[in-house]
Amino acid sequence: MNSISRGIRLWFDSEATEVGNSEQVNWLRCIPFVLLHLACFAALWTGVSTFAILFCIGFFWLRMFAITAFYHRYFSHRSFKTSRAAQFVFAVLGNMSAQRGPLWWAGHHRHHHQHSDQALDLHSPVQRSFWWSHMGWFTCDASFKTPYDRIRDFTRFPELVFLNRYDALVPALTMLAIFCLGELLAAFAPSLGTNGLQLLVWGFFISTTLLFHSTVTINSLAHVWGKRRFATNDNSRNNLALALITLGEGWHNNHHRYPASARHGFARWEIDITWLLLLLMKKLGLIWELKPIPARVQQEMR
Ligand SMILES: [Zn+2]
Ligand SMILES: [Zn+2]
């Protein structure tokens, strides 16, 4: 009983209690993740509307950008600079993806780059199974903790440490806000044909599940499917399909060759929407000092 209540407390406070280093799936801990998937089927009862689908798609891309540009290129690799306010806003947007806190995400990602496709890599499809790399590795206690020692450069911001510790708070508030929006629309714009539950199912559960599986293709598929331009020490690949789904992250072999670059599509034709949006943010003065692809790496491409 004690271990059950401790496990449940971890849903709300990721540091409520010590966790071990087991690599077995912790099913109690994963109940919210399983429920997220099951909740998508509620669409059979809530029905659908054009507004709900547009919201689902729009919220998917907004959060995908927060994950690729900020959780990945900014927090994990520091490939550009920004203000403390913008850093916080995009940390909150990324946290709305229910992919845990920015420090957990970036700390584990730095570990991936250090040990990529080696024995210590937590989500290598080369070392372990494809499904373990896709959605198994984070279900065990061994990867539940935030590796704070790898992300010391951001632990001096108490607002980030708070978001990271109570990493279910923002997703819970997001669900509540989406439900309220749906109810308001049902009352004041009934012609849209939506309501609280319908918008919650499409705008959060389905959108977040699609976002999750799209993001983690970079851990799984981008290490087995595609072309290798650079002979890196891992099995990373460049893949156009994955780059389109993830706003540019699919140029993963480029990224492993030079992780600090803010741009992942190294060639002109390598579509990298995140990079284009980062250029726009730079024009607007929201970010600066974007790290370029070094000349020596460009030489290797020829
Ligand atoms: Zn990788
Ligand atoms: Zn990376």
Q: pLDDT tens per residue, the chain (302 residues)? A: 577 887 788 888 888 888 888 888 888 888 999 999 999 999 999 999 999 999 999 999 999 999 999 999 999 999 999 999 999 999 999 999 999 999 999 999 999 999 988 888 888 888 888 898 898 898 988 899 999 999 999 999 999 999 999 999 999 999 999 999 999 999 999 999 999 999 999 999 999 999 999 999 999 999 999 999 999 999 999 999 999 999 999 999 999 999 999 999 999 999 999 999 999 999 999 999 999 999 999 999 87
**Counted domains in the chain:** 1
State the residue range of the domain holding 239: 44-301
CA of 248 to the centre of ligand 2 (A): 12
CA of 85 to the centre of ligand 2 (A): 23
> Considering the domain boundaries, does residue 12 fall inside one?
no
CA distance 185 to 238: 43
Ligand nearest the Cα of residue 72 is: 2
CA of 258 to the centre of ligand 2 (A): 9
pTM of the predicted model as reported, rounded to 2 decimal places: 0.95
> Considering the domain boundaries, does residue 85 fall inside one?
yes
Ligand nearest the Cα of residue 260 is: 2
> Considering the domain boundaries, does residue 201 fall inside one?
yes
CA distance 108 to 281: 27
CA distance 260 to 63: 22
> Considering the domain boundaries, does residue 275 fall inside one?
yes
> Considering the domain boundaries, does residue 267 fall inside one?
yes
Ligand nearest the Cα of residue 122 is: 1
Backbone φ and ψ for 216, nearest 5 degrees, come out as -80, -5
CA of 249 to the centre of ligand 1 (A): 10
Ligand nearest the Cα of residue 112 is: 1
